[in-house]
Amino acid sequence: MATHLDIHQDPSGTVGIGQGPQVLSTSNQLDVIMGPLLNYRRTSNQQTGQPIWHGSVLVVTTPGQQTPQLVLSPAGPVDANVGNARFSVDSKIFGGEKLYEDPKRAFWRFLIDAPMQQFESRWSYDLQGLVYIDHQKTEKPQTFAVPSVAQSMRIMFHSCNGFSVGTDVDAWSGPALWHDVLRMHEQRPFHVMIGGGDQIYNDGVRVDGPLKPWTEIHSPHKRREYPFGQQMRDECDEYYFNNYVRWYGTKPFSTANGQIPQVNIWDDHDIIDGFGSYTDHFMQCPVFRGIGGVAHKYYLLFQHHLAPPKSTFTTDAPKTTNVSEQGHGTTPADPVQVKNSFVMMDDVGDPSYIIGQKPGPYVEECSRSIYTQLGARIAFAGIDARTERTRHQINYPETYKMLFDRLDKEFTANPDLKHLILLLGVPIAYPRLIWLENILQSPIIAPIRFLNKRFGWAGDFFNKFDGKVDLLDDLDDHYTSRAHKTERRELVQMLQNFSKKFSARITILGGDVHLAAIGRFYSNPKLQIPAEQDWRYIPNIVSSAITNKPPPQAVANLLARRNKIHHLDHDTDETLLEIFDRDPGLPGGVNATNGTNTTDNITGDGKDGKIVSKTSAANHATMPSRNYAIICESHPTSAPPAASTLSPPSISSAAPGNAPSILTNGDAASAISNPPGIKDNMRHPIHVGEQGAGTQHPAANGIQPTGLCGPYGLDVTLRVEISNKDAQGRTDGYGFSIPALHVSEALRDQGTRW
């Protein structure tokens, strides 16, 4: 039973539970195991015209360090041609806060802030006395970019940043696409890096980690009853920590971590494959509850720079995991877990967090969704879709209410916000797979399951946890799953109401599925609403995976064949945009990041070194190749550009689909597309920004603003890997643009039947 533990003040001034390992370094150097990791949190003071950028830096050190310091300094304008670029501040020193310490490691956080300038600026941060334990690593100040007062942020979005168990990592050149991210960052720096989930793959804990003996138990009943005692918890704790240190310290990913501020939401692989989507009686077993707690601890530390709970679940001390509405334990900490340790108390986190009202069913902590502003005109919201997840729900109804209450408050207070980027982790505008669910749950699977149970036949077809078809947990994760149909529809309708109320365009980000695609919701063509005035037009950028291997070509082609026109409700249709005019690296484009023809200097996937096709000739909707996305405003400043400064968009005469009205006199700000006709193919472009979508679109290079879709439109680039044998991770670009939204008063009351 838990007993009272003393509250202790660390020499850094941090108040916490426990006295730590009671060692103290007498050296002036800072012995670093891993880091720095840079996070973005929010802006403040936005309404005064002098906004302040807020972020944090995390390093993991050996225990007993003296309180470290970080020096933040102006490092000049991003554009070297900016004249008279005087910063409003000089260098500033920030002290570290100790989040957690045990006999092997300590986590130090620096909360930093920088006033945004009238020009896009670079900032340098230097950890005083930093020396890496691994002497092969070099110590140097890091830099990052902050947008100007008038700019919205340039966004990089990724997901599935790791390898599934059993993948030949060498065959896939490791995390090669991060080389491409850094090349793009060098040309035009990213201001923020959004992680859509699976930033790390912890599935190996059941293959070569402490859960291996438990996984190999054949009886589902014995696995459900298996205790998660303190010894197993300690072993899992060590496994998750070491896996984070290994992966977050791997170049080139580690280089990006220190230069591009991160904002992250987690998914199942950050815990273990399928977590939350197995049957309830199995998810309630001690081992799942235990690893949920351990994974949550290191998710908070590494990905959010937050102090962890005082204790996590063990069957030895089951009463230490009662949680309050703030997500922290209401009973004393387990003295065994905090022995020789220090855990910061009452970490207030940040105003950007939206904390759930009650703990999740399996991770016994409250969900942690995010709202923050990405520069002048873009808002961001990320829904924690894992903490509250079960097989039959993704989030609690009250969590959605809290999110929309926050959005309503923020957009009411700030009329300059023109766009909401919503991170869901899993795609929501995506082909239906209910037919596949029916097959995998049908009686025809029973004989195969029997052969698997008796003889191990088709072992990879069934998961090691509950003996069901392995693919089912992935299908149950999808919003398009039968179990989530109502929740999905209600969420989209709430987004439509919000979009119409504030004339704010919504774009959804999703990952998880290991291929690239662009889904869209839009008004039924019979309503005759141009996309620029259509609050139901909500693109879903599906970018996945940046590191994990893609599904086979046959799976991508099957999904493309299932790309039907679906009806969400009476007034809303949905389908994927056919954006992939050709496969990456094949003749026909010069958007590869080697700056020449896409096939130059790149070893292909084929046996003869040539680039091979990744999809069938008929598939223009799904791309089974590693990728990430770039999102930025079509114009770099808030003022609408003069018509004379813009060129008409480059529209490919060969592009299929509808013919939006072409801009006249280059006046992108006033362009309104022709409403789509009832007989038009809605898989093809339906507005000016989609016309010519693909490698020939002006947004495909990911560098230059297109000027399309009005001053508040967005350019989107999918950077798709050409060859997994290319260690430099070079990519080809596919682009389209998203129009700003102006809801016509004449249309506000039109089409509201659900």
Provide the 3-class DSSP secondary structure of residue 479.
Answer: coil
Of the two residues 229 and 661, the one the predictor is more confident about is: 229
Task: Report whether pLDDT(642) > 70.
Answer: no
Overall average pLDDT of the 613-622 stretch: 92
* 109 φ/ψ sector (left φ>0, alpha ψ -120 to 50, else beta): beta
Q: Which of these, 127, 122, 139, lies nearest to 53 by C-alpha position? A: 122
Q: Where are the beta strands (DSSP E) in 205-341?
A: 262-264
CA distance 425 to 157: 11
Mean pLDDT of 121-149: 91
Confidence band of 141 (pLDDT split at 50, 70, 90): confident
- DSSP state for residue 722 in the 8-state scheme: S
CA atoms within 13 A on the CB side of 319: 6
Residue-level pLDDT at 443: 56
Q: What is the mean pLDDT of residues 109-130?
A: 96
Residue with tokens 């997500």: 327
Whether the predicted pLDDT of 441 surpasses 60: no
* Spatial contact of 19 and 6, defined as CB atoms under 8 Å apart: yes
Q: What are 684-730's pLDDT values in tens digits?
A: 999 999 999 999 999 999 999 999 988 899 999 999 999 999 999 99
Q: Is the pTM here over 0.85, yes or no?
A: yes
The pLDDT of 391-419, averaged and rounded, is 96
Task: Answer whether 38's CB lies under 8 Å from 144's CB.
Answer: yes
- Annotate 502-538 with three-state secondary structure: HCCEEEEEECCCCCEEEEEEEECHHHCCCHHHCCCCE
User: How is residue 438 written in tokens?
Assistant: 């029916």
- Which residues, at least 6 apart from 375, have a Cβ–Cβ distance to it below 8 Å? 43, 147, 151, 152, 153, 191
> How far is residue 595's CA from residue 701's CA, in Å, rounded to a whole number?
10
Percentage above 90 pLDDT, the chain: 64
The two structure tokens encoding residue 656: 């299929």
Among 216-220, 316-320, 395-399, 602-606, the range of highest mean pLDDT: 395-399
The residue type at 375: G
Q: Quote the tokens at residue 590.
A: 């010069």
Nearest alpha carbon to residue 153 among 408, 392, 474, 377: 377
The pLDDT of residue 139: 72
Residues facing 97 on adjacent strands: 109
Whole-number pLDDT of residue 571: 95
Q: How many CB atoms lie within 10 A of CB 281?
A: 10
Question: How many residues are present in the chain?
Answer: 754
- pLDDT(486) > 80: yes
Q: What pLDDT score does 432 carry?
A: 65
Tell me the C-alpha distance between 189 and 182, whole Å.
9
Dist CA 266 CA 263 (whole Å) = 10
Q: Is 694:581 a contact under the CB 8 Å cutoff?
A: yes
How does the average pLDDT of the chain come out, rounded?
Answer: 85
pLDDT band at 464 (very low <50, low <70, confident <90, very high): low
Task: Give 98's contacts (C-beta < 8 A, 6+ positions apart).
Answer: 10, 12, 14, 16, 67, 106, 107, 108, 342, 344
Tell me the mean pLDDT in the region 546-553: 90
For the ranges 53-57, 620-624, 721-725, the maximum mean pLDDT occurs at: 53-57
Share of the chain above pLDDT 70, in %: 82
CB distance 424 to 430 below 8 Å: no
Q: Looking at per-residue confidence, does 321 or 620 come out higher?
A: 620
Whether the per-residue pLDDT at 487 is higher than 70: the answer is yes
* Cβ-contact 181, 154 below 8 angstroms: no
Q: What is the pLDDT of residues 560-590, one digit of tens each?
A: 888 889 999 999 999 999 999 999 988 765 4
Residue 651 has pLDDT above 80, yes or no: no
Banded model confidence at residue 621, pLDDT cuts 50, 70, 90: very high
How far apart are alpha carbons 273 and 204 in whole angstroms?
10
Q: Residue 126 pLDDT more than 90? A: yes
- Whether the predicted pLDDT of 597 surpasses 70: no
| DSSP 8-state code for residue 674 | P
Better-predicted residue by pLDDT, 46 or 251 = 251
Task: Of 492, 465, 341, give the one whose Cα is nearest residue 391.
Answer: 465
List of long-range contacts for 128-134, beta carbons under 8 Å, 24+ apart: 128/30, 128/68, 128/69, 128/70, 128/71, 129/28, 129/29, 129/30, 129/68, 130/29, 130/30, 130/32, 130/59, 131/29, 131/30, 131/31, 131/32, 132/32, 132/33, 133/31, 133/32, 133/33, 133/62
pLDDT at 22 exceeding the cut of 80: yes
> pLDDT tens digits, residue range 268-290?
999 998 899 888 999 999 999 99
pLDDT for residue 641 is more than 80 = no
CA distances from 587 to 9, 434, 583, 610, 627 (A): 64, 37, 9, 12, 19
Say if residue 12's pLDDT is above 80: no
Give the pLDDT of residue 454.
Answer: 46
Residues 31-47 have pLDDT tens digits of 999 999 999 999 998 77
Q: Which pLDDT does position 634 carry in this prediction?
A: 92
| CA 551 – CA 556 distance, rounded (Å) | 7
**SS3 label, residue 296:** helix
Question: How high is the pLDDT of residue 608?
Answer: 61
Q: Residue 619 — very low, low, confident or very high, per pLDDT cuts 50/70/90? A: very high
Segment 606-633 shows an average pLDDT of 87
Residue 637's pLDDT band (boundaries 50, 70, 90)?
low
